[in-house]
Amino acid sequence: MNGLPQAVLVRRGAYHDSVTLMRVSRALSDLPGVAAAMVAMATELNVSILLELGFSVPETDPGDLLIAVRATDTEATIEAAIEEADRQLTAARPQDDAPTDQPPLTTRSAALRGRADLVLVSTPGEYAFFEALDAIEAGLPVMIFSDGVSLERERHLKERAEAKGILVMGPDCGTAVIGGVGLGFANVLTPGPVGVVAASGTGAQQVTSLLDWAGVGVSHVLGVGGRDLSAEVGGLSARRALRLLDDDPATELIVLVSKPPAPEVARALEAEPLRTPVVRALLGAGAPDLTEATERVLRTLGRPVPEWPSWPGGRHGRAASGKVKTIKGLYAGGTLCLEAAAVAGTGDFADYGDDAYTRGRAHPMIDPTLRVEALGRAQETDVVLMDVVLGHGADPDPAASLVHAVARTPATVVIALIGTAGDPQDLHRQATAFREAGAAVFASNAQAARHARSLL
């Protein structure tokens, strides 16, 4: 591209996980003289991204590793970057120290050693089903972080789990907090009386973050996977999770969070005989948004509803001049994307956390690449509405990854910043950085969407 020296190397069958590859890519991009760099598995999506970036990609298989570098100066810079990539990838591989004990060869054999009370499955989707089934047959509850499991197999797993009286969280369960321990993407929450059953990871994070701001803690967050309340799955895990929280003496109120559920499943869950009051935060036509549902939780507990934090600012000149034509939603959280689209009532919304974007690469809550590129394509007449989700498992400093793109884009940017004061990224520092880059920042996704709509 533009005559700059570049190279694309193929490492046949050299697998590395997407988080490691994202970190190596970022490290190479920061090297002096490097104009562009990407280290990724040769999936169809990653190859298409490289082609869009102007690289020539040789014939590959999805199991191959690609190292692509473009320099601003000489071939020596490319060679140095490739050496650094190999060094970091070698360092990332676990060392084969001679084990003193023979490690278990299957999930079930590991479970039967009696050292665990929950199994976390995070493998490619085509293998996740078998590992989860192994855990269930061993009598252990399982959290399936993986996506790519068919509806038929999800139903089978949950029917087997129900027969054994155990809980399956997932597939595609990104968030859980059990006894104060976060799994997957999880915010730092204080202990308290509210239990959450969530067929939505970012939806749960929005509700619990707002509760934390209001001074209300959480007992447990039991994720059940985004499809659990579909007609095909029938709410099997949600029903089990509701019963578990109903039996928990530390839980005084339950919140049920979900993307729009199948109506018959929502009715069946509402008829579930429980002693503990339940507040439903189920998105859909005519339903309250997640912020309104959180306010209902507070009122039910007899707690005051605070003013939700916002960090006003942003570049409003274009909006004030009446030139804004559309809202572009660039989201990492699927439920937050659906909520924002419903509240805004208009616009073009993309969920970059969808399976179509995450196969073979890190989730956008970790890897900002696709959203940075989308910010670069935004027009002066756009309002860009996006979420930034904090907590363990997410980008350790999302502002550092995104503020330069926010500052450079000609669009007006509105950000829903989802997190708590205890999160390692420092909520207030993140908000200040985005505001100084020109964005308007809100702790409530619904309020951010309303603000974006007001700019049209």
Predicted confidence (pLDDT) per residue in 383-427, tens digit: 999 999 999 999 999 999 999 999 999 999 999 999 999 999 999
The superfamily in CATH containing domain 107-300 is Succinyl-CoA synthetase domains (3.40.50.261)
Using one digit for the tens of pLDDT, what is the confidence trace for 80-125? 999 999 999 988 776 554 455 667 777 877 777 777 889 999 888 8
Output the pLDDT for position 94: 61
Which amino acid does the sequence have at 302? Answer: G
Q: Tell me the C-alpha to C-alpha distance, in Å, between residue 164 and each of 139, 167, 221.
A: 7, 9, 21
Q: Give the DSSP letter string of 154-210.
A: HHHHHHHHHHHT--EE-SS--EEEETTEEEESB----EEEEEEEEE-HHHHHHHHHH
Q: Give the DSSP letter string of 387-410.
A: EEE-SBTS-S-HHHHHHHHHHH-S
pLDDT of 319 over the 60 cut = no
Q: Give the architecture (CATH level 2) of 6-92.
A: 2-Layer Sandwich (3.30)
Query: Mean pLDDT across the stretch 203-218?
Result: 98
Q: What are phi and psi of 16, to 5 degrees?
A: -140, 150
Task: Please tell me the least confidently modeled range out of 267-281, 336-350, 359-373.
Answer: 359-373
Segment holding 107, helix H or strand E:
helix 107-111
Query: Mean pLDDT across the stretch 47-60?
Result: 90
- Strand partners of residue 351: 331
Cβ(195)–Cβ(224) under 8 Å?
no
Same fold, 107-300 and 310-454: yes
Q: Show Cβ contacts of residue 79 under 8 Å, excluding neighbours closer than 6 positions.
A: none
Using one digit for the tens of pLDDT, what is the confidence trace for 156-177? 999 999 999 999 999 999 999 9
Q: Which two tokens stand for residue 229?
A: 């309340």
> Taking the alpha carbons of 44, 47, 53, 54 in that order, is the dihedral positive or negative?
negative
Output the pLDDT for position 317: 42
**Percent with pLDDT over 90 in the chain:** 74
Burial class (CB in 10 A: 0-12, 13-18, 19+), 252: middle
Res. 16 pLDDT band, cuts 50 70 90? confident
Output the pLDDT for position 2: 58
Res. 23 pLDDT band, cuts 50 70 90? confident
Cβ(85)–Cβ(23) under 8 Å?
no
Output the pLDDT for position 320: 45
Using one digit for the tens of pLDDT, what is the confidence trace for 267-276? 999 999 999 9
Q: Give the architecture (CATH level 2) of 310-454.
A: 3-Layer(aba) Sandwich (3.40)
**Percent with pLDDT over 70 in the chain:** 95
Q: Domain extents for the chain?
A: 6-92, 107-300, 310-454
Mean pLDDT, rounded, of the chain? 91
Res. 148 pLDDT band, cuts 50 70 90? confident
CA 327 vs. chain centroid, Å, equals 22
User: What is the reported pTM?
Assistant: 0.83
Burial class (CB in 10 A: 0-12, 13-18, 19+), 26: middle
